Amino acid sequence: MTEVQKKALESLKSIDREVYLLSHIGAALGWDQETYMPEEAVDERSEQGALLSSLGHSRVASDGLAEALEALGAGDFLLTEQGWAQAENSLAPGLTETDRALIRHVYRAHKRATCLPDSLVRELSQTTSKAQTVWAKARKQDDFESFRPYLEKIIDLKRQEAEAVGYGDHPYDALLDTYEPGMKTAEVQQVFDALGAELVPLVQAIKDAPQVDDSFLEKHYPVAGQEAFGYEVLNAMGYDLTRGRMDVTAHPFTTTLGTKDVRITTRYAENFFKTGIFSIIHEGGHALYEQGFSPEIAGTSLADGTSLGIHESQSRTWENMIGRSRPFWDHFLPRLASRFPENLKDVSSEAFYRGINKVEPSLIRVEADEVTYSLHVMLRFNLETRLITGEIAVKDLPELWRQESRRLLGIEPAKDADGVLQDVHWSFGLFGYFPTYALGNIIGAQFFQVMEQQLPDLQNMISRGDFAPILQWLRDAIHQYGSAKTAGELIRRITGGGLDSRPFMEYLRTKYRDVYRLSL
């Protein structure tokens, strides 16, 4: 490596570090806004967020970064999996594997940033910051019309973003690429069509079977007891509370405010126990990923989930394949019953297991069972792709939501708070984000299948509450790499193949044959 290239690498790392720090400052402001910020502070907070977004964008799009990337030999070959194969020979000599991965990651971000005008970045940040507060109030008051103008503005800005970035077949491709790099709308549609064709008959078979009893979950569970139990579970999972914390918010999320500051949030329902605990386990799964990055990539932009599908695979694995398993509650039910003896004194471990796995089409995605969950994702995917193309209008969303809910789930919301207003994502401008939830189900099942093969005592580990070997497997196979490996690379490395929905459907059929005594 020449002296010029060494200086270029130092410059790239310096700029990347600044962007990394700015993103965490923004995360701190966002966390505060969603948890403790007073309502009247939203206007100035939106200006603060816009300024930070602009500062980060200007550094990623800077001429200095462009010059450093050019000196290091970066080019468009870094944007594809095929091109990456030639990176070692095309980039500057003497780079470590981590350096090459960082250059690839930074080049991709730089390429996108140079397409986006700073004015658009600022306007998006400012608009979405205000929209989040409006959405929260609109949902509480079941008032879609108050949120509608903000959503119309956001969609207009996201269309501008898609046009600025460019796309081949569908404008949604440019937005999807932010969260699932390299994936196309047509690919998602193909996967969802195949998955839906199998899910709908499974849901019908369950619907025709005698329903399981979960009435014990709808008794009164005071929040203080739920919170204490949640901390007990998080501790067992391996979430490090010296590097994180848990708070309450309207919509649960995980956010990273620093290398050693990964926070989660949840929400509780005192008369529906599942709401709180499964949000905690889900967000805990996200946080374990963020806490598990290798020290080699810590403090760089590689210390991030490589795609939201991979990120979601971690949260859904902990929430469902572990957290809703029979051995998990063989271990934890006695501990839960000691906190809520009146509610659970006559509930066996088997009855509890079947109850927490009750399948019933519901209105709220975050409270959906794991069989119908992906149908909620498909519902929103079907609507937001058409919103981006202009095929449907925002004013028609409430009715279109009801129609899609009837078609996919067989039910429809009586109020918009339980329908089109239920999730925060559109107020954040996160178009392209939602498909990753269902992709996470698929990827998680693929990874879990391999983990079961490599940890033959897995189920006994769970029943003993011994999650350390499980977390270590995830750290070794997935977490440590962050964005140093792409989603496709991780899937191939772990499974030997590509994205495949068959393990997920096999898992669902096997589990729910047992829960519902089906003859599938």
Give residue 366's pLDDT: 82
Taking CA atoms, 149 is separated from 142, 143, 145, 156, in Å, by: 15, 12, 8, 11
Q: What is the pLDDT of residue 85?
A: 83
Q: Does the annotation mark 283 as catalytic?
A: yes
Q: Residue 81: its pLDDT value, please? A: 84
Q: Is 170 annotated as a binding residue?
A: no
H and E: helices and strands count for the chain: 23, 3
Q: Which amino acid is at 101?
A: A
Q: At what angle do helices 468-477 and 274-291 cross, to 10 degrees?
A: 50
Residue 88's pLDDT is: 83
Contact in structure between 69 and 32 (CB atoms under 8 Å) = no
Q: What is the pLDDT of residue 519?
A: 82
Q: For residues 71 and 7, what is the distance between their CA atoms, to the nearest angstrom?
A: 9
From the candidates 123, 161, 283, 384, give the one annotated as an active-site residue.
Answer: 283
- For position 367, what pLDDT does the model report? 82
How many angstroms separate the CA atoms of 227 and 270, rounded? 11
Which DSSP symbol is given to 363? S
CATH code matching the domain that covers 185-516, chosen among 3.30.70.270, 1.20.1440.230, 1.10.1370.30, 1.20.140.10:
1.10.1370.30
Backbone angles phi, psi at 347, to 5 degrees: -100, 120
How far is Cα 399 from Cα 405, in angstroms, rounded to an integer?
Answer: 10
In order along its 520 residues, the chain shows pLDDT tens digits of 899 999 999 999 999 999 999 999 999 999 999 999 998 998 999 999 989 999 999 999 999 999 999 999 999 999 888 888 888 889 999 999 999 999 999 999 999 999 999 999 999 999 998 999 899 999 999 999 999 999 999 999 999 999 999 998 999 999 999 999 989 999 999 999 999 999 989 999 999 999 999 999 999 999 999 999 999 999 999 999 999 999 999 889 999 999 999 999 999 999 999 999 999 999 999 999 999 999 999 999 999 999 999 999 999 999 999 999 999 999 999 999 999 999 999 999 999 999 999 999 999 888 899 999 999 999 999 999 999 999 999 999 999 999 999 999 999 999 999 999 999 899 999 999 999 999 999 999 999 999 999 999 999 999 999 999 999 999 999 999 999 999 999 999 999 999 999 999 999 999 999 999 998 6
Q: Pinpoint the residues of the chain covered by CATH 1.10.1370.30.
A: 185-516
Asked if 290 contacts 256 with a C-beta cutoff of 8 angstroms, the reply is yes
CA distance 431 to 179: 9
Tokens linked to 173: 């491709």
Residue 152 marked in a binding site: no
Residue 311, marked binder: no
The tokens of 91 are what?
């980039």
The end-to-end CA distance of the chain, in Å, is 61
